Amino acid sequence: MFFGNREVFPVTGIFKHLEEEATFPCRLSLEDGLLLAGVTAGTVTCLLLDDKARAGVKSLSNPVLDSLQNFDIMGDGFFTLGLSGGFYLLGGEKEKKVCCLLLESFIETGLIVRVLKAGFGRRRPDSGFGPEAFNIFTASNDSFPSGHAATAFSAATVLARAYDIGWVTYPLAAGVSFFRMYKDKHWLSDVFLGSVLGIVIGNMHGLEKQASANNLSFSFETAGKDSGAKEPDLFYTMTLKF
């Protein structure tokens, strides 16, 4: 089995994580309770601001943003699959582990978001209904939470922990969330909760930053004779580290 091959996927914890998330309410600590309360308060606040936020984003409409609106493809599942495949094919042992973690977090994120979408049954902004249009257990209405935001932030968190590049990955994920609103596909509360879920799930699949020698790097060598001198070939190496 592809996922059972530990040489290909050395870290597999999908079912363990899903069990932890399903039983989360049964083992809340004080810190967990405060975090959950904060996320709930943030989501409720965003719900109250959904109409104003939508109007504000619409007011930003211009040709430049119109040309960039497909930026949200970075939160698409196929993009994540391609990204993880690239890490596996082009990288070393660490990159193969990152490939595994990206896939695991993507699958977990998709399962959890799909259940929540079906449970809340919220209408999208472009449907003509207001932000209060929830029809629970209606799979055809799938605005809340945003799957693109969750997927983008999940991948961003995995990469940020593996390579310490959150200053790059998180703004990119935030861009995905913005353009989902810009295209009138999601409310502010949709992308907020999706982003939080992505970060939480990504952290469950985090690979701790290792020594710089294990960072993602690409290198090449060239050799040449030092003309006029009886010296061995000289080798030049350039390494790009992220």
DSSP 60-98: T--HHHHHHGGGGGGGSHHHHHHHHHHHHHHS-HHHHHH
For the ranges 28-32, 65-69, 80-84, 207-211, which has the lowest average pLDDT? 207-211
Question: 64, 99, 63, 56: which is closest to 81 by C-alpha?
Answer: 99
pTM (2 decimals)?
0.78
129 has a pLDDT exceeding 50: yes
21 band by pLDDT with thresholds 50, 70 and 90? low
For the ranges 1-15, 111-125, 199-213, which has the lowest average pLDDT? 1-15
183 has a pLDDT exceeding 50: yes
Q: What percent of the chain has pLDDT over 90?
A: 60
What value does the mean pLDDT of the chain take?
A: 81
For CA atoms 55, 68, 168, 185, the dihedral sign is positive
Quote the DSSP letter at residue 134. B
Q: How many CB atoms lie within 10 A of CB 81?
A: 13
Token readout for 115 is 């259940």
